[in-house]
Amino acid sequence: MSAPLLEVQGISKRFGPTVALDHVSLTVREGEVLALIGENGAGKSTLLKVLSGAHLADAGSMQILGQPYRPHGPHDAREQGVAMIYQELNLAPDLSVEDNILLGHPGTGGGLLIRGNQRARVRDALDAVGLHDLNPRAIVAEQSVATQQLIEISRALASEARIVLFDEPTSSLPQKDVARLFEIIRRLRGQGLGIVYISHFLEEVREVSDSYSVLRDGRTVGSGRIDDIADTQIVSLMVGRDVNDLYPRVPHEPGEDWVAVDGLVSSPYDAPQSSAISVALRRGEIFGVAGLVGAGRTELLRAVFGLDHTDRGTVTVDGNLVGASVRKRMNAGFGLLSEDRKNEGLAQDLTIIENLTLSGLDQYTRFGFIGLRRRDQAAADWMKKVEVKAHSGRQSVSELSGGNQQKVAIARILHQCADILLLDEPTKGIDVGTKAEIYRMMGQLAAEGKTVVFVSSYLPELLSVCDRVGVMSRGEMREVRDASQWTEDDVMASAIALEETNSTTT
């Protein structure tokens, strides 16, 4: 048998006192998709960074087709045939598609760049990912996120990559584009490329990959063929203990209606008029909102929170009309957890304490001065309550893992004494263990009589955690049922099969 495409042996990497990778080994053969599974902080991303040349390993060796491979930078790795598709897209937004694809390439000789001579190469790379209609001269910033990701993949192909590393490629993609991405991954596999794939979604991993490797605390704790292992076994390997309950439920009983969103119309200036949305929320319930990306779920939450302009419609709490400004909505008890944790949800450079108390400083303020000691004390209490793992509250939020950042963001809403929590994709990019903690937290809040609105693209969690689930499509609330009366197929049908029903009703 010939040497495997990529062989990694005993890779270790430390960051100061922290051991990120501890003798990790893995093998990728030609035409194989390897899923790299693990909780946040297990070392998956660090491993990919070592593979892609962004980090230098402290110990261990790597071989490509039996030849030693030791990249001294991302560019060097790319030249040796290893390309990485990052979770955060890495394209120059102001440049054209073709310039992005050929960025870092030497040009057409003598430092010159005659684009016409390279267009065939660009066309090939774009065709390979199914972007037959994309004009290579189009500006990248004007393309959709899904297209941008495909552009990034075609950039990897243009550099003749033999190994492609995907770091959670589906986390920002709508469902239909995920299917397209998988098709492309399968095509690449068919061409004999080796693929390493990170994802938090087990069913996704099962669909696309051939083999798996589970990391925990920087160590390989299991690997093999994906068909030989059950989901629960994978989860047990990931968290290091038996997990029998992925969706813990805290018993709670929904009470009477108290929040009414009535005839809300919010339309961005360049979109067609969206239809009015009316929803009634009960005390002590978890209300799920399902739908495809772009169905208007985020827009609904933002409009309810008063963040975006609303053309028509009212929001009442306990029968009292609430004005359409963020301040008024907050005073009425609304709190919003943004989907975009990095840019909007948290002030990354500020400390945990400052982030946690940012929206509720009034409690400590006297004559315009902040009572720092009281504030710090209260923040420390909240950190303990939501179990933020950090050295101290003075750490800046950017140093925390995604899951811990999310806890800080949720704690901020709780700290501002919100009774109606609007959570937009609260479990996005978070590992299984922390997800379970967030579900439990939501159950507890409902048990305390608060209302939780839970937007998610991940149907199993919506159907398991929520009391009622509404499905949105094209800016419209299609249908609301008790969670027990939905199946995943029903939800998808309701979210997708709308165009026919829409045209008949209007």
Partner 1 sequence: MLKKIFRSQFGPLIALIVIFVLFTVADLIWSEGYFSSTRNMRVMMSSASLIAVPAFGMTIIIIAAGIDLSAGTALTLCGTVLALQLKNSAVAASDPAFLSVIMIGLLLMIGTGCLCGFVNGLLISATKVVPFIVTLGTMTIFLGIGQIIASESTVYAPRENIPDWLRFLCYTGPIDDNYLISGLKVPASVLIAILLAAAVGLLMRYTVFGRNIFAIGSSESTARLCGINVPMTLVAVYTLAGFFVAIGGLLYFADVKNGNPSDGTGKELEIIAAVVLGGGSLSGGRGSILGTMVGALIITVIRSGCSQLSIPNTYTHIIIGGIIIIAVIVDQLRHGSPEWFFRILRQV
- The residues, ordered by sequence, that sit 6+ positions from 355 with a Cβ below 8 Å of its Cβ are 346, 347, 397, 408, 409, 412
By beta-carbon proximity to partner 1, the closer residue of 22 and 76 is 76
- By the rule CB under 8 A, 39 interacts with partner 1: no
Half-sphere exposure of 502 (CA within 13 A, CB side): 15
| Candidate segments 64-72, 99-107, 278-286, 297-305, binder of partner 1 by CB under 8 A | 99-107
CB of 144 to partner 1, least distance (A): 16
Q: Do strands 420-424 and 451-455 pair parallel, antiparallel, or not at all (unpaired)?
A: parallel
Question: Quick one: tokens of 338?
Answer: 């943004």
Give the residue, chosen from 66, 93, 255, 323, that forms a contact with partner 1 under the rule CB under 8 A. 93
Give the residue, chosen from 70, 176, 225, 309, that forms a contact with partner 1 under the rule CB under 8 A. 309
Give the residue, chosen from 65, 103, 250, 358, that forms a contact with partner 1 under the rule CB under 8 A. 103
By beta-carbon proximity to partner 1, the closer residue of 76 and 437 is 76
- By the rule CB under 8 A, 160 interacts with partner 1: no
- By the rule CB under 8 A, 321 interacts with partner 1: no
| Candidate segments 102-110, 197-205, 318-326, 328-336, binder of partner 1 by CB under 8 A | 102-110
- By the rule CB under 8 A, 302 interacts with partner 1: no
* N-terminal to C-terminal alpha carbon distance within the chain: 64
- The residues, ordered by sequence, that sit 6+ positions from 230 with a Cβ below 8 Å of its Cβ are none
CB of 310 to partner 1, least distance (A): 12
- By the rule CB under 8 A, 325 interacts with partner 1: no
- By the rule CB under 8 A, 272 interacts with partner 1: no
Half-sphere exposure of 122 (CA within 13 A, CB side): 23
As a whole number of angstroms, the distance between CA 334 and CA 417 comes to 9
Q: Do strands 82-85 and 277-282 pair parallel, antiparallel, or not at all (unpaired)?
A: unpaired
| Candidate segments 90-98, 117-125, 129-137, 374-382, binder of partner 1 by CB under 8 A | 90-98
By beta-carbon proximity to partner 1, the closer residue of 142 and 387 is 142
By beta-carbon proximity to partner 1, the closer residue of 267 and 355 is 267
| Candidate segments 98-106, 258-266, 294-302, 486-494, binder of partner 1 by CB under 8 A | 98-106
109 to 148: interface string for partner 1, x by CB under 8 A = --xxxx----------------------------------
Query: Which CA distances in Å does 6 have to 56, 290, 421?
Result: 17, 40, 47
CB 73 within 8 A of CB 52: no
Question: Quick one: tokens of 184?
Answer: 């492309």
- By the rule CB under 8 A, 106 interacts with partner 1: yes
42 to 81: interface string for partner 1, x by CB under 8 A = -------------------------------xxxx-xx--
CB of 74 to partner 1, least distance (A): 5
- By the rule CB under 8 A, 90 interacts with partner 1: yes
Residue 279: helix, strand or coil by DSSP?
Answer: strand
Across 362-475, where does the E strand assignment appear? 365-366, 369-370, 420-424, 451-455, 468-473
- The residues, ordered by sequence, that sit 6+ positions from 348 with a Cβ below 8 Å of its Cβ are 342, 396, 397, 398
In this structure, what DSSP letter does residue 373 have? H
- By the rule CB under 8 A, 326 interacts with partner 1: no
| Candidate segments 34-42, 64-72, 105-113, 477-485, binder of partner 1 by CB under 8 A | 105-113
- By the rule CB under 8 A, 225 interacts with partner 1: no
What's the angle, vertex CA 419, arms to CA 443 and CA 282, rounded to 5? Answer: 70
| Candidate segments 43-51, 119-127, 266-274, 442-450, binder of partner 1 by CB under 8 A | 266-274
Residue 186: helix, strand or coil by DSSP?
Answer: helix
CB 116 within 8 A of CB 108: no
CB of 112 to partner 1, least distance (A): 6
Q: Which residue(s) pair with 441 in the sheet?
A: none
As a whole number of angstroms, the distance between CA 8 and CA 355 comes to 40
What one-letter code names the amino acid at 487? Answer: T
Question: Quick one: tokens of 483?
Answer: 């969670």
**Which segments of 191-338 does DSSP mark as H helices, in order?**
202-208, 231-239, 297-304, 326-331
CB of 87 to partner 1, least distance (A): 13
Total binding residues toward partner 1, as defined by CB under 8 A: 26
Query: Which CA distances in Å does 73 have to 52, 69, 234, 255, 506?
Result: 8, 12, 33, 58, 57
- The residues, ordered by sequence, that sit 6+ positions from 179 with a Cβ below 8 Å of its Cβ are none
Give the residue, chosen from 187, 268, 365, 387, that forms a contact with partner 1 under the rule CB under 8 A. 268
| Candidate segments 6-14, 22-30, 86-94, 422-430, binder of partner 1 by CB under 8 A | 86-94
- By the rule CB under 8 A, 265 interacts with partner 1: no
CB of 122 to partner 1, least distance (A): 13
Contacting positions for partner 1 (CB under 8 A) = 73-76, 78-79, 90-95, 99-100, 103-104, 106-107, 111-114, 268-270, 309
